[in-house]
Amino acid sequence: MRHRSTTGSTARTGIPNRARRFGPRGRAGATAALAVLAVTTAAGCRAEATGSASAAQPSSPRATASDDGRSTPPPSPTAPAPPSPSASPSSPSPTATTSPTPEPDPQGRTLMSSGSQGEQVRELQARLRQIGHFDRSPTGYYGTVTVAAVQSFQGKRGLSRTGRTDTLTWQKLLGMTHRPTAGELNPPTTRPVAKPDKRCLTGRVLCISKNSRTLSWMIDGRVLSSMDVRFGSQYTPTREGTFSVYWKSRHHVSTIYDTPMPYAMFFSGGQAVHYSADFAARGYNGASHGCVNVRDEGKIASLFDQVKTGDKVVVYG
């Protein structure tokens, strides 16, 4: 009971029972202890109590640097809420972005374009030739001449002049033309074939005329096929004379110019009869480095399979 009573007495008066027990001297000591306690409590308020007068009037804080290098005032101590993203210049609010969906080409997908080759290109050229937009024999190669022909056709029909054969261009062309015949797809040549040189009238011969710019494949005086060819420039002329095929190379690439020479049939040093994509694309606007260029890949491929090593080659003016 004494322990419980002592505790209660201390709680009510704040002075230990011991002080009362020792009389005036004890009461004086207790009074001094209370004074010390009061001073100690007052000294601790400045650091711990946020509601004191000294905490309400802090010294001016230094400005802090934001992410982009500009000085911004620190947030108020009484308002620690984070700044709104829209109010902060250093952290703009993200905006949702979506990639725009490309609009489909109103003329449809591309069926053929520059660099394409094959039988469909040959048909395209034959159909364009029927209505006056392609002025040479089909080659099966989609070069600059074909691009210009398609642009001409598209312009006449109110289509975008892309030079590419898209589905709409192809449909309009099919509606205006008929299916090409075998002769329209593979005419003998765009040029009149010259009268064969007398050296071409016997045996198996590649008979090549510089004047008519044609090559005729002949066996015993009979012409089996003809095709357009072009020759070297005045600085790299194609040699004239009688030669023979000494080497065939189907997928040949020039070691001097690093250019493809498909279906090459060599007859005089580095000079050969071969297919030329440049000739197919640019026609007679260019020249070879001495070779005999053929622009119809289908024809030269067929010729390559027929010619044998040792067959005669005649090049004449």
pLDDT, tens digit (0-9, with 9 covering 90-100), for 91-108: 555 555 566 666 667 788
Distance CA 155, CA 163 (A): 10
Q: Which residues contact 274 (CB under 8 A, 6 or more apart)?
A: 252, 261, 262, 263, 264, 265, 291, 292, 293, 294, 300
Structure tokens, 13: 């008066």
The pLDDT of residue 80: 53
Q: Quick one: pLDDT at residue 101? A: 63
170: Cα separation from own chain's centroid: 26
More confident residue, 30 or 193: 193
Which has more pLDDT, 56 or 180? 180
Determine the Cα–Cα distance for residues 209 and 194; give it in Å rounded to an integer: 7
Spatial CB neighbours of 21, under 8 Å, sequence gap ≥ 6: none
Site of tokens 């029972």: 17
**Token output for 239:** 């040699």
Amino acid of residue 277: A
- Phi-psi category of residue 300: left, alpha or beta, with phi > 0 → left and psi -120 to 50 → alpha: alpha
Number of helices (H), then strands (E), belonging to the chain: the values are 10, 13
Is-contact 295 228, C-beta < 8 A? yes
Which residue type is seen at 254? S
Predicted pLDDT at 191: 72
Q: How confident is the model at residue 284 (pLDDT cuts 50, 70, 90)?
A: confident
Please state the pTM of the whole predicted model.
0.50
**Burial (Cβ within 10 Å: 0-12, 13-18, ≥19) of residue 316:** middle
